[in-house]
Amino acid sequence: MKQNGTMEGRGVVVVNPKPNKGLTSMVVDWMEKFVVKLMYDSSQPHHWLSHNFAPVHETPPSKHLPVIGHLPECLNGEFVRVGPNPKFPPVAGYHCMIHGLRIKDGKPSYLSRYVRTSRLTQEEFFGGSKFTKIGDLKGPFGFLMILIEMIRSKLKILDLSYGIGTGNTALIYHHGKLLALFEGDKPCTHNMLENMSTSWYILFYENLLTHFIDFNQMSLRYWRMVTFKLLD
């Protein structure tokens, strides 16, 4: 496995964006703060960031979890789910987290990891939110937030060459890889099914020329993934 952004396997590359800090980035941040203070109602409750929907932290591998009842030793497999889990407070784009529960030889283990998209990698680099989220795209405020993101891209503050998706909509297992899907971007792949001990790297297919929708099906006759793309 190469870690410098070169090819790995069949047309798969490591996500390795190149964001830039500096005076230009600080000026755009001040512009964003002014727009938010002027036009955003901070008193609005964040229903999808509280209670059962509140973000959680990554969980290291937890093996030999307590079991109420009995798990037969013949029951082996893994259940995975994905969903929004922002790492930084709003105004922020939502990142996502994969949760995996594995049962092997009657013993359960659990692990949760962020999907390390280009979006998350860059916001970790800046230590805060830099991308817009769907919830902000309302009226003049939404227009200005899109404009600010475009300015960051134009000034090379953000690197959009690896996409801006969150991979938080659906999961599908295909060709030996667990793919995290987001309909506005290319799929990411994760090795949680192969190794419950680490999140490893998030990759995407370089030879896939466009994004595709996250509601895909497997053709049982030809054992191929059937997908489509929404109109731009």
> Highest mean pLDDT range out of 24-38, 58-72, 164-178?
24-38
pLDDT of residue 18: 93
Angle at 63 between CA 57 and CA 64, to 5 degrees: 135
Least confident of 2-6, 35-39, 67-71, 132-136: 2-6
pTM of the model: 0.76
Spatial separation of the C-alpha atoms in residues 91 and 88, rounded to whole Å: 8
- The more confidently predicted of residues 107 and 152 is 152
Number of domains in the chain: 1
What share of the chain in percent tops pLDDT 70? Answer: 72
pLDDT of residue 7: 39
Indicate whether 93 belongs to any domain.
yes
Indicate whether 169 belongs to any domain.
yes
pLDDT digits (tens, 9 = 90+) for 112-138: 888 888 888 899 999 988 888 777 777
Indicate whether 6 belongs to any domain.
no
pLDDT digits (tens, 9 = 90+) for 187-227: 777 766 555 544 444 455 555 666 666 566 666 676 676 66
**Structural domain range at position 64:** 13-68+75-230
How would DSSP label each residue in the chain? ---SS-EETTTEEE-------SHHHHHHHHHHHHHHHHH--TTS--GGGSGGG-----EEEEES---SS---TT--EEEEEEEE--SSPSS----EEEEEEEEETTEEEEEEEE---HHHHHHHHHTS--S--GGG-SHHHHHHHHHHHHHHHHTTSS--TT------SEEEEETTEEEEE-TTS--EEE-TTT-TT-----EEETT--S---S--EEETTTTEEE------
Indicate whether 4 belongs to any domain.
no
Indicate whether 218 belongs to any domain.
yes
User: With 80 as the cut, is the pLDDT of residue 151 above it?
Assistant: yes
Indicate whether 7 belongs to any domain.
no
Indicate whether 1 belongs to any domain.
no
Indicate whether 17 belongs to any domain.
yes
